[in-house]
Amino acid sequence: MNTYEEELRKKWDSINYHDGGSLQLAVDHPLDWYVRYATRDHKSIVIVSENPADKMSSSKSIEAACNMRKDGKYAISFTLVNKEQEDVFISMSSDIIEFSRIEPRPKESLVRVLRRYAAWLKLLDHKRSALLSVNAQKGLLAELCFLKEEIEKGMQPSTAIEGWVGPDGADQDFVYEDGWHEVKATGTSSSQVTISSVEQLDNPEPGELVVFRIDKCAPAHVGAISLYGMVHKIFEMLAANVSAMDEFVLKLGAAGYIDMQEYNKQYFNISSRCSYCVDDLFPRIVRASLPTEIINAEYQLDLPSLNLWAR
């Protein structure tokens, strides 16, 4: 994917905030993009559009607005109000431009801008940094490994991505015709895996628990891969399927991942994969067995004890 971060920084650096005004970005895009300073410390990116933007939300970090200009067009702006988030704001702006660029129709391109902005807003509302923690990266890497396997086994990419329902708030990570799949990551030397909610294994339908053993490693390690690298492997698999690519990018955003080079700095080694059939006899906590006063529970499963259910 392209990055427009350098172009954005150069344009903002070219503006004297005392003089006001704005500069247009030299990007190949169906919408006209400009940068400006709302105040000395508040960078702003502006879209000039024939169409208004509806339902724009602001956050503690970004103020969003849509105002009609004298010429009847609309100025849709995203203004940074928390200077500590400047690097993230520039990454967000670059990512939104790229995500919306591939739609040639201005109105539909604007829809993509707003969808991508909404994904970023979830991150900026809950994190000081847009980067996932190392443990969260390992968890997402495990899910992407599983997704990649399904596509490589012949599942249609659109079907595979549609069934990745964890980012949408579903109880299990994947749901396909063959059942549900809960995917976990743990370390090579670990003898246990954490089930972080009752619902993750509480399903009356047949399913499986899939455990990937993943550890941090040096880039030179044989088979080492970064989360960024895995995402881009899947991008390559989806290159011929625009709708599947769009859905994948949106689900990545819902999972807390925005495509940034920072994710290419930490490498991981995936040493093994095990799966366990989750049936009526599988050791798990189910909602029906809990007192109503217990609203949630986290527990650990001893992996060596699960050999009876190993596939």
Q: Are residues 260 and 172 in the same domain?
A: yes
Q: Which CATH number fits the domain that encloses residue 101?
A: 3.30.1460
Nearest-angstrom CA–CA distance, 3 and 98: 7
Write down the mean pLDDT value for the chain.
91
Residue that finishes a domain, picked among 95, 126, 157: 126
Same domain, 109 and 176: no
Query: Cα(36)–Cα(133) distance, rounded to whole angstroms?
Result: 32
Q: Which residues are CB-contacts of 77 (< 8 A; sequence separation ≥ 6)?
A: 38, 44, 45, 46, 47, 63, 64, 65, 66, 67
What is the per-residue pLDDT for 86?
Answer: 87
CA torsion 64-228-141-143 (nearest 10°) is 60
Per-residue pLDDT, averaged over 123-150, amounts to 85
Same domain, yes or no: 171 and 114: no
Domains in the chain, number: 2
pLDDT digits (tens, 9 = 90+) for 61-70: 899 999 999 9
Together in a domain, 252 and 304: yes
**DSSP classification of residue 222:** T
Q: pTM for the whole thing? A: 0.74
Residues 145, 120 share a domain: no
Look at 190 and 39; give whichever has higher pLDDT. 190
Residues 271 and 152 in one domain: yes
Q: What confidence tier does 108 reach under pLDDT thresholds 50, 70, 90?
A: very high
Q: For residue range 259-284, list pLDDT tens digits in order.
A: 888 899 999 999 999 999 999 999 99
Residues 221 and 182 in one domain: yes
254 close to 167: Cβ distance less than 8 angstroms: yes
Residue 301 lies in domain: 134-309
> Do both 153 and 280 map to the same domain?
yes
Residue 168, pLDDT > 80, answer: yes
> What pLDDT is recorded for position 60?
84
Mean local confidence (pLDDT), 169-186? 96
Residue 123, pLDDT > 70, answer: no
34 and 143 co-located in one domain = no
If asked whether residues 180 and 224 sit together in one domain, one would say yes
Residue 182 has pLDDT above 60, yes or no: yes
Give the pLDDT band of residue 256 (cuts 50, 70, 90): confident
Whether residue 158 is found in the same domain as residue 271:
yes
Which residues partner with 269 through β-bridges?
Answer: 215
* Residue that finishes a domain, picked among 126, 150, 177: 126
**What's the rounded mean pLDDT across residues 101-107?**
91
Q: What is the pLDDT of residues 71-87, one digit of tens each?
A: 999 999 999 998 888 88
Domain boundary among 67, 98, 126: 126
Q: Could you tell me if 75 and 118 lie in one domain?
A: yes
